[in-house]
Amino acid sequence: MAHASSTRQILTAAHWGPVQVETDGERVLTSRGVLDTALPNSLQTVVADQVHSPARIRYPMARKGFLASPEAPLGERGKDEYVRISWEQALDLIDKQHRRIRTAYGPGAIFAGSYGWRSIGVLHKSSTLLQRYMALAGGYVGHLGDYSTGAAQVIMPYVLGSNEVYQQQTSWPVVLEHSEVVVLWSANPLNTLKIAWNASDEQGLNYIAALRDSGKTVICIDPMRSETVEFFGEQARWVAPRPGTDVALMLGIAHTLVVNRWLDSDFLARCTEGYPQFADYLTGLDDGQPKDARWAAAICGVPQAQICQLAELFSQRRTLLMGGWGMQRQQYGEQRHWMLVTLAAMLGQIGLPGGGFGFSYHFANGGNPTRRAAVPASMQNTLPGAGRVVDSIPVARIVEALENPGGHYRHNGEDKTFPDIRFIWWAGGNNFTHHQDTNRLIRAWQKPELVVISECYWTPAAKHADIVLPATTSYERNDLTMTGDYSHQHLVPMKQVVAPQYEARNDFDVFADLSARLSDDGRLRFTQGKDEMAWLAEFYQVARQRGAEKGVVLADFATFWAANQLTEMPQQEENNRFVRFADFRADPRANPLKTPSGKIEIYSARIAGFGEPDCPPHPAWIAPDAWWGNREPGQLQLLSAHPAHRLHGQLHYSRLRELYQVAGREPVTLHPDDAARYGIAPGDLVRVWNACGQVLAGALVSDGIRPGVICIHEGAWPDLAPEAGGICRQGAVNVLTRDIPTSRLGNGCAGGMALVWIEKYSGPQPAPAAFIP
């Protein structure tokens, strides 16, 4: 190892926050976070694993069957060998086939709606650069929504006039001062606050620690005793409903409010629309079934008395319902967030300091007050006048689009038609870890004529491509970012740590070269005559201008860049006191929401007009197809929760795997009662299966999960073993989850749970091969 005197400390950033990286100029030696935080973040320690992973894609590669016949590829994606080719050969191949497909079928045949957690930074966002190139080429098919909040972000505009899941929350200082009860409903912030869409400002865990030390009542509603429940210890009450039954539990609480006259009738009259229609459903006037605590208990498995206690507690104390996203990633997921808003409206505390609800406290440190910030520009929207998206499909319906080109479907009240996709380019995302029903995806993935993947690692998506292009990691190039999706707390120089590894290239340069093949002025149109540092200087100058308008003075770019330091933005006292919906509550007429009525819509006439059978016009309990109530003998409910030591599929290849693997695989958590029932001991290798597929996992036996429920964390790389019946050697949970939409309104992903069987595994044990190039 190099001596300390020959090493340098370089500041950069990642989704998990600003990171100080030690390098000898050729290799990454160590990495650590630089902000003062209440808890360590394991994700910050493995930059060396990211840069020097054996799973890196080293050279441009092409599938043998594609090389032999590019216009009519032979073989099967996922089962073919790869051949090293030159960059020139790779780009020429892509250019020729791209032109052929675009000429024959038009831009509607080209899917560049590349989706995933992209590298952070204002310049090197891979999907933006891909779409910039495709816009210059004449347009492409894009995507609608995301996997995280697909159902909620469609339903919430009808209810609240905004998507709400990506909005700033009532500030944490207000919560810590005024809230008396904080409910973490389907949220595990100890895991999910390690990350952000941009660089994390890392303050959320500090506030969670302050909440723990405040003495306030904290209630965690989750089928698992999560890391967050463990963190709060005796400070938290754990309520464990059956998976998928949150709406029934909320209805039972709501009915109890009605019968005890604990609801806020004045707030409902002033600030909501359609409560009487919902009340007829709640009390059973329209169907003969009151949704009372007894009814709810039979469905959700939470005792009737406990449901009544929750109703009394919420109504008598200032209560903030912090809703997570996991519960809406299920069939009929639209109903979960709608019902939580309805419950908060019945309590009448929306717009009060420390009361109401919030949907992003568990993500990107929502509630950390927004700073008076100088925010840089970005590569997005820097290509004026170009034809861009010619069609879009809901992101979670990509497989159905491939299976059924020209087929009709419904989305958000509209009749739509799936495009006939012939060419897919996926840059900076690994859809094989985040999409459901992996085996169905693999079958559909054979249909396009060309699949190109731009990636750093041999992900499962890369292993199912025709052409694979090695991309740089963010540590091998220069960029800029802000910390905090909501707070904009710091401006961070993301300085190159080491040179690009092997033959990896920046996406910016790759798409500039391809644009040059489009026309004589293609390169100039793509780059606008600016290289990496010129773009960053321009984006930074915009930050200086924006800052000057707010009284924030930034140094010139050369000084900022040379300093290699964070720039922290000043606080704004009014934002420290921010209360979401306060103005609306004070005067709904003067401050209407962007709904048809200007109010919170508990009943939506617009949704009623759509007539969707799987999305009624007010929140309602609809039993999912796969849940405790219709399981077959011996089946268990499977949860797929967010992992602790990776970001979905990111960092799965790193040494952090050693912190959680069991029997060399992904762990499956099961209750001691279920372990005894199936003859499974801690550390056993087990098989989990259903009609979608089968996986191997290592048994983790714990009383921190509801009996009858098991959990495999999402994000593991699929690793199917043909020699063992196609079983997944690694334990990727989406081999088991069904690819169905949440509803015909939202078309979100519904991979949050499934029904499965489990047994101790005694067959041949194929060695995991997910991370072998």
Question: For residues 183 and 239, is the Cβ–Cβ distance under 8 A?
Answer: no
User: The tokens 């967030």 sit on which residue?
Assistant: 337
Cβ atoms within 10 A of the Cβ of 99, count? Answer: 13
Q: Which of the 8 DSSP states describes residue 383? A: S
The answer to whether 185 is a known ligand-binding residue is no
Question: For residues 266 and 275, is the Cβ–Cβ distance under 8 A?
Answer: no
Q: Which of 16, 115, 458, 621 is catalytic?
A: 115
Pairing relationship of beta strands 181-185 and 319-323 according to DSSP bridges: parallel
The answer to whether 477 is a known ligand-binding residue is yes
Return the C-alpha torsion angle 511, 512, 513, 516, nearest 10: 120
User: The tokens 């491509």 sit on which residue?
Assistant: 465
Helix extents (H) in 550-660: 557-563, 573-576, 582-586, 605-610
Question: For residues 392 and 141, is the Cβ–Cβ distance under 8 A?
Answer: yes
Interacting residues of 474 by C-beta distance below 8 A, sequence separation 6+: 12, 13, 14, 119, 120, 121, 124, 494
Helix extents (H) in 179-316: 189-192, 204-213, 227-232, 246-259, 265-271, 275-283, 293-300, 304-316
User: The tokens 């770019």 sit on which residue?
Assistant: 557
Count Cβ atoms within 10 A of the Cβ of residue 594 and give its class: 0-12 exposed, 13-18 middle, 19 or more buried.
exposed
Distance CA 452, CA 439 (A): 20
User: The tokens 């497989």 sit on which residue?
Assistant: 399
Backbone angles phi, psi at 340, to 5 degrees: -65, -40
Pairing relationship of beta strands 753-760 and 727-728 according to DSSP bridges: unpaired
Using CA atoms, how far residue 406 sits from 274, 446, 448, 747, in Å, is 38, 18, 14, 17
Distance CA 758, CA 703 (A): 18
The residue among 338, 333, 257, 250 whose CA lies nearest residue 295 is 250
The answer to whether 435 is a known ligand-binding residue is no
**Does the active-site annotation cover 117?**
yes
Token pair for residue 712? 């495999």
Helix extents (H) in 553-625: 557-563, 573-576, 582-586, 605-610
Distance CA 477, CA 21 (A): 14
Interacting residues of 328 by C-beta distance below 8 A, sequence separation 6+: 149, 150, 151, 152, 334, 336, 337, 742, 748
Residue 200: its H or E element = none
Q: In sequence order, what DSSP letters do the residues of 115-136 get, joined into one string?
A: -S----SSS--HHHHHHHHHHH
The answer to whether 372 is a known ligand-binding residue is no
The answer to whether 15 is a known ligand-binding residue is no
Distance CA 588, CA 594 (A): 11
Work out the angle at residue 174's Cα, subtended by the Cα atoms of residues 168 and 175, and round it to the nearest 5 degrees: 85
C-alpha count within 13 angstroms, C-beta hemisphere, residue 661: 15
The answer to whether 655 is a known ligand-binding residue is no
Q: Which of 59, 117, 262, 757 is catalytic?
A: 117
Interacting residues of 104 by C-beta distance below 8 A, sequence separation 6+: 422
Sheet architecture: strand order including 490-494: 479-483, 490-494, 567-568
**Does the active-site annotation cover 660?**
no
Return the C-alpha torsion angle 100, 106, 112, 113, nearest 10: -160
The residue among 130, 124, 155, 160 whose CA lies nearest residue 143 is 130
Distance CA 7, CA 28 (A): 10
The answer to whether 507 is a known ligand-binding residue is yes
Token pair for residue 549? 């308008």
Q: Write out the binding residues.
A: 117, 329, 430, 434, 477, 507, 734
Just list the catalytic residues.
115, 117
